[in-house]
Structure 1
Amino acid sequence: MKEYRFQQLWKALAFGRQGHHTLCGQAFRIEDPGTYNAGDGPDFRMGALRFADGTLLRGDIELHLHEQQWQAHGHSTDPAYNGVILHVFLHPAAKPVRLQSGVQPLRCSLLPAITPGQFAGLQQDEVLPCETAIRYIRPEVVHAQLEKARQDYFENRANALIQWWDPALTIEAAWKKMVLRASASVLGLSRNREAMVKLAETIPCTLPPETSEAYLTAWLLARSGLHGQQAEPDSLKRTDWDLSGSRPGNKPEQRIAQLAALALRLHRLGRADMLKGPAVCAAMVFRGLPAGRRTHLLELIVWLPAFYLLGTQLMAEGLKQQALELWRSHQYQPEAMFTEAFRAAGFAQKATLSHLGIVHQQREWCAPKRCGNCAIGQSAGLSSA
């Protein structure tokens, strides 16, 4: 069975909003299934359940096919799951699960609500329409399509960055502002994106030369409102932040410290530094930051497209080519949600499953069934849905 298909059914409210009961007998309605979380932590963030007495309960929701998978996946010792209010599954276990905090979340088996067709679908592998023909498709066709997807992905990321460009500023200042705000958006994933961007917007375009990372971090923390204070009229409030169930490295205080470091290092970059290209500047800006997936993502979807745009603005073809070449050679292991269907369909080659283009391929061609616009689908004789 495929758990992510169960997640998609929940996301689509395929089981209906009403008529559900916890195992302790409480009737509830699904007001909001929550926001799907492709990263660390619970499957759905900040869902909402309405109980028969009118009580509205908000929090994270975790899904498994078998209740005992909670324990097997180590969630009972992971503080990232302390915000879970409901554990949804098909097959209950003899012993209820507990959060790392010791609290027992509500439990719900959806087995009574699932239709025979849905159950059969969960028992089947999630495959692509080209599954039956993949063995006959030439490897170069697959490679060409993924290369196209990789290039389209880059162009999409560059276009997404333009929203942060301020034409009223000089090129250097507008570029730094764009990079900082886009980076704040990534650092805030997935719960605190808006709050992090608002906080980044309070950072002045010019900073005194003596400004330290410690001082800027403290200044931003004061403006964040996380500790109850409001230093200035444009300060945020504690209620602007989602503080439930984050891993220690994802706590807003940690992300704000990283934002301060990025802001100060970006501020100190001169045009001569920027013209040295993305690799040299990355060594100056990203040094000392946690070497995890979030920093890797920053370099990939913000830094390289940003340097391509800088090259466009400065008419510096060398910068554009450096950014493109680094993107094309970038090593990134896509999450299982993007590769599982390809693996099931027969794309077993490691080079295919670790290709950066597979992320965009899944989103833009495979998920919407645009097979007729895909070289792989065309070779398989398929048309778009």
Structure 2
Amino acid sequence: MQKVVYMDYAATTYTKKEVLDEMIPYFSEHYGNPSSVYSISRDTRKVIDASRDKVAKAINAERNEIFFTGGGTEADNFAIKGFAFANFNKGNHIITSKIEHHAVLHSCAYLEKHGFEVTYLDVDQEGFINLEQLKSAIKDSTILVSIMFANNEIGTIQPIKEIGQICREKNVVFHTDAVQAVGHIPVDVKEMNIDMLSLAAHKFYGPKGVGALYIRKGIKIDNLIHGGAQERGKRAGTENIAGIVGLSKALEMAVNEMDKSSRRLIMLRDKLITGLMEIPHTKLNGPVSENRLPGNVNVCFRFIEGEGILLSLDDMNVCASSGSACTSGALDPSHVLLAIGLNHERAHGSLRLSIGDGNTEEEVDYLLSVVPKIINRLRNMSPLWHDFIKKGEI
């Protein structure tokens, strides 16, 4: 296949043409600073308000509960640090899970250096937290629970409504990193008892560098960025008008097309999983089907390194990702895969394929034709594989 096969939609998506068309006028025609008083600025203020309405509608929130940010990472930092510092007088204990995105984990680690205590919940082999463990972890000093809606690596969709209900009963604020969920699966902040929620436009075919944080009315939160009175005094800085317009348009489209898109992605996902599992010594990471993101596939191939798979796929014009990452020459396995019980050797051999609206069944067939050959070639080069054969365990 000559064209590039992109299967890393969990990392980022392309910006859809309809979204880009909606954004373009706000770069050159409608450029007024929303904080100014003249008419062209009032016009941009109106379009930001209209965009806020669209985002609120998509998650069943109110307009004044939506705050635009520079992306999902900022939204997570804003929620966790902002709430913690604003409510330090009420308690210093925070609960999260071991498989959160680093935007959450690093924010919690930062707070631990500033007088906060953090409990990191275990997950089971499919990546789910234990609700009874959550209940037991909550104590008098607990002020915040932050559990991601859906995992970016293994696709696990947590029981968000039940988590929110536990927090509501215990009078603890509940934040969820919903960056991978919003626009792909139904999200209702009222029904699901969510107090704060982070999202990012580039995960649902919007532009990069813009996101939003939902903060339920009445929740006290400190500013993360200081300087001006934008976002009703909560997030300083001249608004990214084009980005905000793109975010709201992309989200509106994603919600309207969600049912149709999900059915198609689940069909492609399940076909890909079924084909990959025919390769010997392959393990599926995350839930088998139910409570798994529609486009997520994550598998481990024993006896080989994930980086070798990625480089080989790149040679075949396939874009994918691995659960392991190479940092400063040191290979570290995914914290998510370790948390679900994989040892280092198995975690190193992971492959994440995330399917999106641009993928076709022909591309899935192409993957299923090239991956077995890649795995076979890499295993033939692997000392671990040859040791395994010598032991007669094959």
- Under a length normalisation based on structure 2, what TM-score does the superposition of the two structures give? 0.23
Q: Hey, which of these two has a bigger chunk of helix by percent?
A: 1
- Under a length normalisation based on structure 1, what TM-score does the superposition of the two structures give? 0.24
Using CA pairs below 8 Å that are at least 6 residues apart, which structure has the higher relative contact order?
Answer: 2
For the pair shown, the structure with the greater C-alpha radius of gyration is 1
